[in-house]
A and B are shown apart, each in its own frame.
Chain A
Amino acid sequence: MTLLQICEWLESTRLAELVTQSTYGFPIVVAIHLLGLGLSVGTVIWFDLRLLGKVLTSTPVSEVYRRLAPVMVTGFVVMFGSGAVIFTGFATAAYNNPYFRVKLAMIVLAGVNAALFHVYTQRRLAGWDSWSQPPASARAAGTISIVSWVVVVLAGRMMSYTMF
């Protein structure tokens, strides 16, 4: 089964029908997606700025993460959940849309960046947790995260204007 065939199958599901056929289905899910975006990206940016040594420089990085994580995780669950629901309704159009591909590539980059940070950089966190200017690897992770999420937001909006 090719990716395109999976997209075609998704569009034939009951969920896809609910998204595309109901009067308020699509705008309601889009509204939830936007709120999730504000919660998730709007919060992750503060952790990235701490990694860059720009805010809360006298607060340990681990504490910044611990305080922000509940809002951040809730936001990402809402954003990815609603995004997946929207995708089922317009899967083939999204598959063929260049902005969707950019958006997906940037989400993967942000995910890989976060995973590498947790596996490698954070392993030595105890050594630099309280530094006002974290090491170069942490600053790089913060920069990549901010850039990738900004591109996700921009490509996501461009996509909705070029898909329908």
Chain B
Amino acid sequence: MEAALNWYQGSVLASAVGNSPTITAMLSALHALGFTFIMGGALFANLGKLGVLFPSRPVQEVAGPGSRLIALGLVLSLPTGLLLFGPRALNTAHNPTFQLKLLLIVTASAVQFGLQRRGTRAIGGLGLMLWIALALTACAFILLE
């Protein structure tokens, strides 16, 4: 693991990102846009499952588009996050807040997409809590970095 991180941090790609404030800023801008889509999708899909938003509509009519916006957010956030991670891979990988952030991404995605067909209130509540925890951890990562 340590060797892989070392290789990635020393790679041409990581150096290109690390040496260019413009590339870093553009990646970070797309990362933030992905974050916004994830938050918007998570609120919509899970408040729909909880019956808070549009209780008279079938759950999938709300949860389906919500999950698709989360997926779009992840498509934007994950590759840009990986590229932003490159120049500081060794330090960041050992940061407990970053490790928690990764764990929450995996868990929240598994609940959202793995249990998508189960439109129960419990799944909606769990999904919402996990995505909110991820947002708070992402903010804490900025705070403590």
Pair B44/A46 contact, Cβ less than 8 Å? yes
Binds B, one of A25-33, A88-96, A106-114: A25-33
Q: Does B50 contact A (CB under 8 A)?
A: no
**What are the interface flags for B25-44 relative to A under an 8 Å C-beta threshold, 1 for contact and 0 otherwise?**
11011111101111111011
Dominant SS among interface residues on chain B:
helix
Report the separation of the CA atoms of residues A153 and B32 in the bound assembly, to the nearest whole angstrom: 7
Chain B residues at the A interface, C-beta cutoff of 8 Å: 21, 24-26, 28-33, 35-41, 43-44, 47, 53-54, 57, 61-62, 65, 69, 135-136, 138-140, 142-143
A to B contact number (C-beta, < 8 Å): 96
Chain A residues at the B interface, C-beta cutoff of 8 Å: 24, 27-28, 30-31, 34-35, 37-39, 41-43, 45-46, 49, 54-56, 58-59, 63-64, 67-68, 71, 150, 153-158, 160-162
Q: A42-B41, A156-B29, A156-B32 are in contact. List 7 more A-B contacts (CB 8 A).
A: A35-B136, A38-B35, A42-B44, A43-B40, A45-B69, A55-B65, A67-B53
